[in-house]
Amino acid sequence: MTKEGVVHGRGMVATAAITADEVLFEIPRAAMLSSKTSAFGDTGSDNDDAGWAPLLFAMMAERQRGQESPWAPYFAVLPEPSALSHPHFWPEGEAEALLGETRLVEAIKIDREAMRTQFDAYVDAFTRQHPNAVAGTKGGCGCGV
């Protein structure tokens, strides 16, 4: 196996043929991190307008629990947020300066506005319901707006 095409050094390779309908493994829903399995209960996942916000709140809350979280081993293998270099999170103006007149600049602006709207709409309700759940939510979504 080579590292080519493998994300962060992790991946799987089949050593035998796999049929299209073959089940390779099953993961119980209770073992998956979601807004419904978080220690903070449902974080708004039934609201279709919430987008990724409920899952992000669950991740932030569980990560803050540290070793008490059943997902601590999962968080331990994720890259640190500061290691991510995604244009959506670049400082204001940097995407425009580096990406110039590409279509990406407009797509990033639209995504940032949507992220800001979701953050503003759901973070206040969530933090009122769970005031000690997530530290550091004041001051923005980190989406460059």
3-state SS record for the chain:
CCCCCCECCECCCCCCCCCCCCCCCCCCHHHCCCCCCCCCCCCCCCCHHHCCHHHHHHHHHHHHCHHHCCCHHHHHHCCCHHHCCCHHHCCCCHHHHHHCCCHHHHHHHHHHHHHHHHHHHHHHHHHHHCCCCCCCCCCCCCCCC
Residue ranges per domain, the chain? 34-129
pLDDT digits 0-9 by tens, 52-75: 777 888 888 888 889 999 999 988
pLDDT digits 0-9 by tens, 12-67: 778 899 999 999 989 998 889 988 888 877 655 555 566 677 788 888 888 888 99
pLDDT confidence of residue 143:
46
Position 4 confidence tier, pLDDT thresholds 50, 70, 90? low
Position 140 confidence tier, pLDDT thresholds 50, 70, 90? very low
